[in-house]
């Protein structure tokens, strides 16, 4: 058995299934480039059949990425598989990942198919996929609640049909480590020719066990792990890439496995994904949380100062902390900014967009002494830069708060070519700002989440605001960043409205 562990990243597919985390093609490309730099083996770029936009995004990632396999998900239907095949066609190395549910509950209530029909469809899907690539992965959805004998039968059939990777998902996050490891072990023992394929695992985090279950699978023979940056994903998320990679690396004595991951790229990747999706990272999150390497108690600090290993099992710099070097300042020119953007894998579709970014950079540098890479990432995540021709645009904002007086905000926005203004009171300046925007827009949306995080430290840091809006079954996350959090909030709110206005329609793979 090989000692190489394949890291299959599904941030752009399962991660994208988190509420409001849908990404545009440009944003997927930025994350895919960073994943390539991180060194993942496989990038699941999306579900090509979901919509024309998803198809275009998978194809664009396939055209861009050179040093990783680019994969599209496909239900086990001819149309899905063919769309996936067309989308990955430009990839230097392309994979189709097809799946069908194998548990009694899914087969009976969702698919309304018999066991025989499921096996027949799984085999057909693998054969359609082989017309496009010889790198075909098959997943038995809800394997955790599937009967063992039936799983063995399905996996045997798809190996005979030509699948090279067999994925065993805990779709609903139900398993516990010992049982999951045992399931993988039994499958490898019982499925004929199991040594000719790669066994993979894909765990959800509903019981907080996704990483533990994945590692247990690895200890029992799985050689591919499907995971996401920051554990982003459906419901409670997927197994977190950074935790799996660092567990395998830190406990080489237990796993004796190698990955291709450049661990110093972990924190930059985490920050990029968080800022693009609007999902903040909790401070005490392992590896990538702001406190993950902070020692608070005097005894710990004393110990670390005397001998680092007393309380540290990993080094912060090995996962990319402290890499946020001071980059630019007020006197930096266009060339310096352009070079820094290039180093961060950020490209602009036009000179007009770069000019808008340069303008924002100068405004920021006037208010903030030191500009870090994270500030530049946030600057371009702000849709005000990314889309010069957006529908709703903030032109100006004045907010007033004073003890004993009801806060008030006056906003001026453009909608298309028309300028509108409104002034409203609110519980605080942010509330007043949102009320003033709504007074103009009458969006009929429900505000589901409002959160503020500082991008770097210090009181002059930019606040990064996420606003989640829901309307008619659609959920979007809007983001804005500014040293003034009221302004950042207004940008985030308008960003969410712009996303709703863009009206991206897509199907969900598991429906």
Main-chain dihedrals φ then ψ at residue 415, nearest 5 degrees: -120, 110
The span of 8-16, 217-225, 269-277, 490-498 binding Zn ion (CB under 5 A) equals 8-16
Helix axes 334-343, 373-381, angle to 10 degrees: 90
If we measure between CA atoms, which residue out of 229, 321, 319 comes closest to residue 279?
A: 229
Interface with Zn ion in residues 24-63 (CB under 5 A): none
Q: Which is nearer to ligand KIV, 151 or 490 (CB)?
A: 151
SS3 track for 430-441: HHHHHHHHHHHH
Q: Which is nearer to Zn ion, 14 or 41 (CB)?
A: 14
In angstroms, what is the minimal distance from the CB of 188 to ligand KIV? Answer: 19
Q: Which is nearer to ligand KIV, 99 or 361 (CB)?
A: 99
By the rule CB under 5 A, 14 interacts with Zn ion: yes
Beta strands in 76-178 (DSSP E): 94-101, 136-141, 165-170
In angstroms, what is the minimal distance from the CB of 202 to ligand KIV? Answer: 5
Half-sphere exposure of residue 472, counting CA atoms within 13 Å on the CB side?
Answer: 7
Q: Which is nearer to ligand KIV, 142 or 375 (CB)?
A: 142
Pair 432, 490: CB distance under 8 Å: no
- Residues near Zn ion (CB under 5 A), total: 1
Cβ-closest position to Zn ion: 14
Pair 154, 119: CB distance under 8 Å: yes
CA atoms of 63 and 41, how far apart (whole Å): 16
CA distances from 169 to 108, 146, 335, 381 (A): 19, 10, 48, 33
By the rule CB under 5 A, 142 interacts with Zn ion: no
DSSP string, 393-422: EEEEEEEEEETTEEEEEEEEEEETTEEEEE
Q: Which is nearer to Zn ion, 43 or 409 (CB)?
A: 43
List the single partner that 141 binds among ligand KIV, Zn ion, none, CB under 5 to 8 Å by kind.
ligand KIV
- Cα 505 versus chain centre, distance: 19
List the single partner that 139 binds among ligand KIV, Zn ion, none, CB under 5 to 8 Å by kind.
ligand KIV
CA atoms of 9 and 44, how far apart (whole Å): 6
3-state helix, strand, coil in the chain (%, to 5): 45, 25, 30
Ramachandran sector of residue 230 (left: φ over 0; alpha: ψ -120 to 50; beta: rest): left
Q: Which is nearer to ligand KIV, 169 or 407 (CB)?
A: 169
Beta bridge partners of residue 74, listed in sequence order: 98
Q: Which is nearer to Zn ion, 234 or 464 (CB)?
A: 234
Pair 209, 176: CB distance under 8 Å: yes
The span of 6-14, 91-99, 402-410, 476-484 binding Zn ion (CB under 5 A) equals 6-14
Residues in contact with ligand KIV by the rule CB under 6 A: 14, 73, 99, 139, 141, 167, 169, 171, 202, 204, 509
In angstroms, what is the minimal distance from the CB of 266 to Zn ion? Answer: 21
Rounded to 5 degrees, what angle do the CA atoms 421, 427, 433 make?
25
List the single partner that 375 binds among Zn ion, ligand KIV, none, CB under 5 to 8 Å by kind.
none
In angstroms, what is the minimal distance from the CB of 229 to ligand KIV? Answer: 16
Q: Which is nearer to Zn ion, 210 or 328 (CB)?
A: 210
In angstroms, what is the minimal distance from the CB of 15 to ligand KIV? Answer: 10
Q: Which is nearer to ligand KIV, 72 or 274 (CB)?
A: 72
If we measure between CA atoms, which residue out of 122, 115, 74, 77 comes closest to residue 98?
A: 74
Beta bridge partners of residue 75, listed in sequence order: 99
List the single partner that 223 binds among ligand KIV, Zn ion, none, CB under 5 to 8 Å by kind.
none
In angstroms, what is the minimal distance from the CB of 99 to ligand KIV? Answer: 4
Q: Which residue has the tokens 């900014």?
A: 337
CA distances from 59 to 26, 62, 69, 178, 290 (A): 12, 5, 13, 39, 35
In angstroms, what is the minimal distance from the CB of 44 to ligand KIV? Answer: 9
In angstroms, what is the minimal distance from the CB of 141 to ligand KIV? Answer: 4
List the single partner that 166 binds among ligand KIV, Zn ion, none, CB under 5 to 8 Å by kind.
none
In angstroms, what is the minimal distance from the CB of 19 to Zn ion? Answer: 15
The span of 13-21, 255-263, 404-412, 467-475 binding Zn ion (CB under 5 A) equals 13-21
Q: Which is nearer to Zn ion, 14 or 375 (CB)?
A: 14
In angstroms, what is the minimal distance from the CB of 72 to ligand KIV? Answer: 12
Q: Which is nearer to ligand KIV, 145 or 295 (CB)?
A: 145
List the single partner that 24 binds among ligand KIV, Zn ion, none, CB under 5 to 8 Å by kind.
none
The site for Zn ion (CB under 5 A) is made up of: 14
């Amino acid at each position: 058995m090989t000692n190489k562990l394949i890291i299959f990243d599904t941030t752009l597919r399962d991660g994208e299934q988190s509420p409001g985390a849908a990404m545009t093609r440009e944003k997927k490309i930025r994350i895919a480039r960073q994943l390539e730099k991180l060194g993942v083996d496989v990038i699941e770029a999306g579900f090509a059949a979901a919509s024309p936009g998803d198809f275009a995004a998978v194809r664009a990632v396939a055209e861009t990425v050179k040093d990783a396999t680019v994969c599209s998900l496909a239900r086990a239907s001819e149309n899905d598989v063919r769309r996936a095949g067309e989308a990955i066609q430009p990839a230097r190395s392309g994979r189709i990942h097809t799946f069908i549910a194998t548990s009694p509950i899914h087969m009976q209530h969702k698919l309304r198919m018999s066991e025989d029909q499921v096996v027949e469809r799984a085999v057909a899907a693998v054969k359609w996929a082989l017309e496009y690539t010889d790198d075909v992965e098959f997943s038995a959805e809800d394997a955790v609640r599937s009967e063992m004998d039936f799983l063995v039968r399905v996996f045997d059939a798809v190996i005979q049909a030509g699948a090279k990777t067999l994925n065993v998902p805990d779709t609903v996050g139900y398993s516990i480590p010992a049982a999951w490891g045992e399931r993988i072990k039994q499958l490898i023992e019982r499925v004929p020719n199991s040594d000719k394929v790669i066994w993979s695992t894909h765990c959800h985090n509903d019981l907080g066990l996704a990483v533990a279950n994945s590692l247990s699978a690895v200890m029992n023979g799985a050689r591919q792990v499907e995971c996401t940056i920051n554990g982003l994903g459906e419901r409670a998320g997927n197994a977190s890439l950074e935790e799996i990679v660092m567990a395998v690396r830190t406990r080489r004595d237990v796993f004796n496995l190698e990955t291709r991951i450049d661990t110093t790229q972990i924190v930059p990747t985490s920050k990029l994904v968080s800022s693009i999706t609007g999902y903040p990272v909790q401070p005490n999150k392992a590896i990538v949380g702001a406190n993950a390497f902070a020692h608070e108690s005097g005894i710990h600090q004393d110990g670390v100062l005397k001998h680092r290993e007393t309380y540290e099992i990993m080094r912060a710099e090995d996962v990319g902390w402290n890499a946020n070097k001071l980059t630019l300042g007020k006197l930096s020119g266009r060339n310096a900014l352009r070079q820094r953007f290039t180093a961060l894998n950020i490209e602009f579709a036009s000179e007009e967009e770069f000019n808008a970014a340069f303008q924002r950079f100068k405004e920021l540098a006037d208010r903030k002494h030191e500009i870090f890479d994270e500030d530049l990432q946030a600057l371009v995540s702000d849709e005000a830069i990314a889309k010069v021709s957006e529908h709703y645009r903030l032109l100006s904002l004045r907010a007033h708060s004073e003890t004993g007086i009801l806060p008030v905000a006056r906003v001026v926005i453009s909608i298309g070519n028309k300028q509108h203004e409104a002034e409203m009171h609110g519980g605080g300046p942010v509330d007043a700002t949102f009320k003033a925007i709504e007074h103009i827009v009458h969006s009929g949306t429900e505000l589901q989440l409002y959160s503020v995080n500082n991008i770097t430290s210090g009181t002059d840091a930019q606040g990064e605001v996420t606003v989640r809006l829901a309307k008619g079954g659609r959920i979007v996350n809007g983001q804005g960043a500014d040293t003034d959090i009221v302004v950042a909030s207004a940008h985030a709110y308008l960003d969410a409205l712009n996303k709703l206005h863009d009206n991206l329609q897509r199907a969900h793979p598991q429906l």
